[in-house]
Structure 1
Amino acid sequence: MKVLVTGGFGWTARSIIEALHINNFEIVVFDISSKIPSYLNEITSNIITGNISTLEDVKRAMTGCDYVIHLAVAIGENDYKQPDVPFDVNVKGTYNILEIARELNVKKTIIMSEAPVHINFKEDKIFSQTDWQSSSGEDHLYDLTKRLQESIAKDFSETFGMNIIVLRPGHIVDGKEHIDPLGNSLEDLKYCKGGWVCRYDIAKACISALKMESPTTYNTFHLIGSYQAKKQFDISRTEEVLDMKFDNTFENY
């Protein structure tokens, strides 16, 4: 089975691509960058550069694929100083992915969204799979475009009968190397403490979501490994339905 991974040159994508390779999926990697990570050359020759906000580029990448894992996202502080980039990537890019997936009859699309682990909320607040809360601070544009991304996905699923799974990770770190995406030690990391998820557990969730036998439907799952998250997010549902356990629960943090 062939899987398209968008945003495939990124830090989070590596663990997912390696897990796909181990599980014998044929992999197509799509990214806007021209800097191809060296490890990819050992995994796949299907590497396509293009723009997620250009429909023709998306179709060129997705043609012949059975599944899609949509990771492409506007990242970096400068991307969110003006709305053009996040709306082009997070919103229009998601529309493009789903429109082409519909046209090409892709079997299942997995979209990487976010869990609101950076929000200050009441300790007794319990977030279900359908709850959403955006930041009123500097993260609002990011949150807004992610919320729109999920609305687009739900519409495509309900309107066209598409099988779409939205994964909502917390703050993504590396629980094996004990670092964040910038290489900082988790010992020193305060951001979203209690809301972390290891990128290797995200990879495990992606494999489970791909293999899960489910009717044509729309589903969302919180992905937060930190033991504290069990009190406020429906993590038990994620583990039950996706038939997985989080290896990294960050008990020492």
Structure 2
Amino acid sequence: MRVFVTGGTGFTGGHLVQRLVKDGHEVGVLARRTSNTESLKKLGVEIITGDITDRDLVTKAVSGFDMVYHIAAMYREGGGIAEKPFWDVNVDGTKNMLEASINANVGRFIHCSTAGVHGHVSNPPADENHPYNPGDIYQKTKIEGEKLALDYFAKGLPGVVVRPVGIYGPGDLRFLKLFKSIQTGNFVMIGDGKVLYHLTYIDDLVEGFMLCGKKDNALGQTYIIAGDRYTSLNELVETIASSLGVKKPKIHFPFFWPVWTASLLCEAVCYPLRINPPIFRRRVDIFRKDRAFDISKARKELGYEPKVGLGEGIKKTADWYKKEGHIS
């Protein structure tokens, strides 16, 4: 098949492209002019230069493709300095992709949302029917993009919504700060560490994407794709420490709300100056918000089964960080 991928130069999209090529598909990737596309070119991938916010370009680019994986999104660690780019990419850009796919008679549209649309899970684990509970502009706009996709699917575009959970693995840098702080012993546990956390190894996520692209019963559905189990933050930190060959950090600050207030003040000072704050609510919320999910639906309807356990995945990620010189 001819498969069109947005976000193919990123961590998740890049791994998906590799799998698609490996499986014999002809792949086209939409990439911005500033993106590094060298690894994709080596795979023989067709590079279409442009941006999903350019409606006319997207309409032309999607023409002739059989399937679309829409992975691209505006994501910024600090929660963003300006909100407009999030709406431009995560909502308007998604609409452009959906319209272009209808015009091109695309056979299937896989929309990558996020389990973050559920925000804090008040009664874990959450399944696909858990209410929306966004905590920041990224999650708010991802909800709107997901709603758009579901609306287009209801009107006839064959498609599936995927909500990935805590993506990690070799090639990812979002968890690097956490690994570094644990390795150096500088990690500070805020609160009791009993909050729940859930991760998904990149290869398992890609397998989930592929199943959503094949299974006829997946059309019109939404699936949470995650690892085989969730864990406490205490256990996660201990697992990372073990993979790095260091002792679990012992620095502990039992009071959450003073830290959260400090992060709010940092945002208030830094955002008007158009700089990302050193601490921010989204990062601090890891110590407060439960993020645990039920993947029964994906298991039952897709035959999805995670193959990489938490310990193995963390070790592979730590080894990659060391190999690349990110940590010693």
With normalisation by structure 1, the TM-score equals 0.85
User: Which is worse superposed, 34-43 or 126-135?
Assistant: 126-135
1:28–1:44 contact (8 Å) kept in structure 2: no
Out of 197, 214, 217, the residue aligned to residue 214 of structure 1 is 217
- Aligned match of 1:166: 161
1:160-218 Cα deviation digits (max 9, x unpaired): x11111110111100xx496446457584989963111111111111111111237x41
* 1:168 match: secondary structure: strand
Structure 1: runs of 5 or more not aligned: none
Aligned-partner residue type, residue 2 of structure 2: K
Query: Is contact 2:110-2:162 (8 Å) kept?
Result: yes
Give a deviation string over 1:101-148, Cα, whole Å, max 9, x none. 1111100000111113984433x3442323333344xxx111110110
**Which residue matches 1:147?**
143
Q: State the alpha-carbon separation in 2 of the partners of residues 236 and 79 from structure 1.
A: 31
**One-letter code aligned to 2:226:** I
Hey, what does 1:55 align to over in structure 2? 55
Measure, in 2, the Cα distance between the counterparts of 1:100 and 1:184: 38
Q: Secondary structure at the match of 2:305?
A: coil
Q: Secondary structure at the match of 2:115?
A: coil
Answer whether contact 2:20 2:27 (CA < 8 A) is retained: yes
Q: 1:34 matched to which residue of 2?
A: 34
Separation in 1, partners of 2:43, 2:230: 36
Contact 2:71 2:112 in 1 (8 A): yes
* Alpha carbons of structure 1 residues 66 and 228: separation in structure 2 relative to 1, 3 Å: same
Amino acid of the residue matched to residue 173 of structure 1? Y
Partner residue, 2:131: 132
CA 1:202–1:186: 2 relative to 1, 3 Å: farther
How many pairs align?
A: 244
The change in CA–CA distance for 1:49 and 1:129 in structure 2 (over 3 A counts) is: same
Deviation at 1:251, TM superposition (A): 4.6
Distance 1:178 1:142 in 2: 22
From 216, 239, 245, the equivalent of 2:305 is: 245
Give 1:107's aligned residue. 107
1:2 maps to 2:2: yes
Change (3 A) 1:178 1:73: closer
Q: Structure 2 counterpart of 1:246, which letter?
A: P
Name the residue aligned to 1:116: 116
Q: Which has the larger radius of gyration?
A: 2
| Alpha carbons of structure 1 residues 237 and 121: separation in structure 2 relative to 1, 3 Å | closer
Q: CA-atom RMSD, angstroms?
A: 2.8
The answer for the alignment partner of 1:93 in structure 2 is: 93
Which residues of 2 match residues 191-206 of structure 1 at below 5 A? Answer: 194-206=197-209
**TM-score normalised by the chain length of structure 2:** 0.67
Structure 2 contact 21–27 (Cα < 8 Å) conserved = yes
Cα distance change on mapping 1:133 and 1:45 into 2, 3 Å: closer
